[in-house]
């Protein structure tokens, strides 16, 4: 065995592969080593994270695994050295440790909720609800990567029938009219506020010309493909993940990502600088009977559109470290138009109905009073 050990050392010194050297010097040893190697060698496995916004828990983690690799060259040299002295020896295998590059601890904090926001809508308006749900679905599961800019319009596409959108009320020229994609601005507004509360950088945002009922003034985000967009960038130290939902009469956005070094929170502040009185009502005399379900006679009137004040406001975002205000950021100044009321009045003179006569001796007096209304004496 000593001679074979010496021979093995010489063969290895020539640069021969250890398994070949084993086969040449000790028939059958290469099979033993191969078996040992198959039991030890394994590649490291990185920790993995899966984000599924439609099933709780939304984040699933697979833990990392350490890998090992048997150093065949070191084993061969150790066998050769031991054989020179004895045919009976013990070798303690010391495989090389292969570390994974991604650990569970690197991923688990992605499940931290950084910001969320929801708004409410009329659940009975089926088309509007459909458009909101469709627009929100484009962001559900989105990964917002660091240092990358995103666009609402590019993500949702044009609001057309071909893209699945339905007609519902939209604002055009300071008025509500029916158009494809009505409700999408509520989706963009909900997303915008969630982005703000998550500490992301807003690059482009626009306001409506009229006050939106579903959000505080100064915090709406009007979008119109080709002219007005909501754009933002991730300037934090973590990728973020978006979950959206529509449940009942609520549409919401949740944004997850690793927390900041400090537990910052944000508050949205609306400062009203001026109230603008609405103009005089527009009066429509219903000569064609188009509003006969509301009015018929000249002494009847009804509002088909209420007057609303206008406002000039400032939108402020406050950043807190615990209870301490550390930053007060001016976002934008917005002016919302005042709107006039529209009142409809009946066009017909109400017919005169004779008063009922309850007693016989009132007949003459009642007759005189009746004819006085239609004749001149």
Q: Using one digit for the tens of pLDDT, what is the confidence trace for 65-108?
A: 999 998 877 776 677 666 666 667 677 888 999 999 999 999 99
Strands 48-51 and 59-62: antiparallel
- The pLDDT of residue 72 is 75
What is the model's pTM? 0.79
pLDDT at 173 over 60: no
Q: Is residue 133 classed exposed, middle or buried when 0-12, 13-18 and 19+ CB atoms within 10 A define those classes?
A: middle
Give yes or no for a contact between 73 and 81, defined as CB atoms under 8 angstroms apart: no
Residues 6 or more apart whose CB falls under 8 angstroms from that of 21 comprise 8, 11, 12, 76
- The pLDDT of residue 318 is 98
pLDDT digits over 104-163, tens only?
A: 999 999 999 999 999 999 888 889 999 999 999 999 999 999 999 999 999 999 988 899
HEC letters along 136-187 = HHCCCCCEECCCCEEEHHHHHCCCCCCCCCCEEEEEECCEEEEEECCCHHHH
Q: How far apart, in Å, are the Cα atoms of 56 and each of 53, 60, 75, 109, 315?
A: 7, 9, 50, 16, 35
- The pLDDT of residue 305 is 86
- Which of 240, 229, 162, 228 shows the shortest CA–CA distance to 199? 240
Query: What's the whole-number average pLDDT of the chain?
Result: 86
Give yes or no for a contact between 303 and 271, defined as CB atoms under 8 angstroms apart: no
**DSSP labels, 283-346:** EEEETT-TTTTT--BTT-EEEEE--B-EEEEEEEEEEEETTEEEEEEEEEEEEEPPB--EEEEE
Task: Return d(Cα 144, Cα 152) in angstroms, integer.
Answer: 12
Strands 264-276 and 201-204: unpaired
- Which of 155, 220, 154, 217 shows the shortest CA–CA distance to 186? 220
């Amino acid at each position: 065995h000593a001679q074979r050990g010496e021979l093995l050392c010489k063969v290895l010194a020539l640069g021969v592969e250890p398994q070949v050297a084993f086969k040449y010097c000790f028939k059958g040893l290469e099979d033993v080593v191969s078996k040992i190697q198959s039991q030890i060698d394994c590649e490291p496995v990185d920790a993995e994270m899966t984000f599924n916004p439609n099933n709780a828990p939304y984040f699933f983690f697979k833990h990392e695994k350490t890998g090992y690799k048997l150093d065949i060259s070191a084993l061969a040299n150790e066998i050769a050295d031991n054989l020179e002295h004895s045919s009976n020896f013990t070798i303690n295998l010391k495989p090389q440790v292969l570390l994974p590059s991604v650990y569970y601890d690197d991923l688990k904090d992605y499940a931290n909720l950084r910001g969320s926001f929801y708004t409410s809508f009329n659940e009975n308006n089926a088309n509007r609800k459909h458009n909101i749900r469709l627009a929100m679905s484009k962001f559900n599961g989105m990964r917002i990567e660091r240092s990358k800019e995103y666009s609402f319009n590019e993500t949702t596409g044009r609001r057309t029938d071909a893209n699945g959108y339905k007609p519902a009320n939209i604002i055009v020229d300071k008025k509500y009219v029916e158009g494809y994609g009505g409700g999408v601005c509520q989706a963009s507004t909900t997303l915008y506020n969630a982005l703000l509360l998550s500490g992301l950088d807003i690059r482009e945002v626009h306001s409506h010309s009229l006050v939106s009922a579903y959000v505080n003034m100064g915090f709406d985000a009007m979008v119109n493909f080709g002219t007005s967009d909501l754009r933002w960038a991730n300037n934090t130290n973590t990728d973020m993940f978006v979950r959206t939902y529509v449940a009942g009469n609520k549409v919401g956005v949740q944004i997850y990502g690793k927390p900041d070094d400090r537990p910052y929170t944000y508050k949205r502040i609306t400062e009203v600088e001026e109230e603008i009185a609405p103009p005089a009502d527009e009066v429509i005399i219903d000569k064609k009977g188009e509003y006969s379900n509301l009015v018929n006679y000249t002494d009847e009137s009804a509002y088909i559109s209420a007057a609303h004040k206008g406002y000039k406001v400032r939108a402020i975002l406050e950043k807190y470290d615990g209870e301490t205000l550390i930053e007060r950021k001016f976002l934008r100044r917005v002016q919302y138009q005042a709107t006039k009321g529209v009142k409809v009045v009946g066009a017909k003179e109400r017919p005169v109905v004779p008063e009922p006569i309850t007693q016989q001796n009132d007949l003459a007096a009642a007759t005189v009073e009746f004819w006085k209304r239609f004749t001149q004496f």
